[in-house]
Amino acid sequence: MPVVSVKRLDIPDVMLFEFRIFEDNRGFFTELWKRGEYLALGLPYDFVQVNLSHSRPNVVRGLHYQLKPSEQGKLVYVVKGRVFDVAVDVRRGSPWFSKWVGVELRPGQALWVPPGFAHGFQAIEESWFLYLVTKEYDQAGERCVNWNDPVIGVKWPNTAGAILSDRDKACPPLSQAEHNFEYTPITP
């Protein structure tokens, strides 16, 4: 079994996974995704696209999501480095709407970000970040929320030194962002 532990965060649909790592004098090996194991955990998703990003320290990416019918669930994993990873609930009617959870991720851990959540991270150090997603990228459905929206109130590690793309700087606050998700409990 690749997954050693699963922790539901304060928004219980978002889960933190710890993986078994086999390490020796050659390096290490770990399994990140085994379909049957995730099905047993109540995650009936298959991944259709894998993305890899490289970020320098203090880079912020996000907060991104895709509208229905292209909504994505994401299993995100730090290959090398450390990031502060964030999921924001953008499902109308959710008891956690506009609330966020964040964790520091390092190699050996992954975060499950379900559909209906905006996702982003800040690199604490130079980092390589792997995303396994449940639906392909859809430029027409892509949306974002301002990374530093005071209504959401994410406590980023370094706001003064944050480095963002022009696109992410221009993201609207949640109150002005388009989102078409309705809350239905997805916790198994």
Q: Which residue among 45, 65, 77, 131 is the active-site one?
A: 131
In angstroms, rounded to a whole number, what is the distance separating the alpha carbons of residues 40 and 110?
17
Q: How many helices (H) and strands (E) does the chain have?
A: 2, 15
* Beta-ladder partners of 123: 83
Specify whether 119 is catalytic. Answer: no
Judging by beta carbons within 10 Å of its beta carbon (0-12, 13-18, 19+), is residue 158 exposed, middle or buried? middle
Tokens 């905006």 — which residue? 118
Q: Which residue among 38, 45, 64, 65 is the active-site one?
A: 64
Find out whether 84 and 121 touch, Cβ atoms under 8 Å: yes
| pLDDT tens, N- to C-terminus, the chain (188 residues) | 566 788 999 999 999 999 888 889 998 888 887 777 777 777 767 899 999 999 999 999 999 999 999 999 999 999 999 999 999 999 999 999 999 999 999 999 999 999 999 999 999 999 999 999 999 999 999 999 999 999 999 999 999 999 999 999 999 999 999 999 999 876 55
What residue segments make up the domains of the chain, in order of their start? 46-181
Specify whether 131 is catalytic. Answer: yes
Topology (CATH) of 46-181: Jelly Rolls (2.60.120)
pLDDT at 108: 92
Structure tokens at 144: 């974002």
Going by C-beta distance under 8 Å and a sequence separation of 6 or more, which residues neighbour residue 36? none
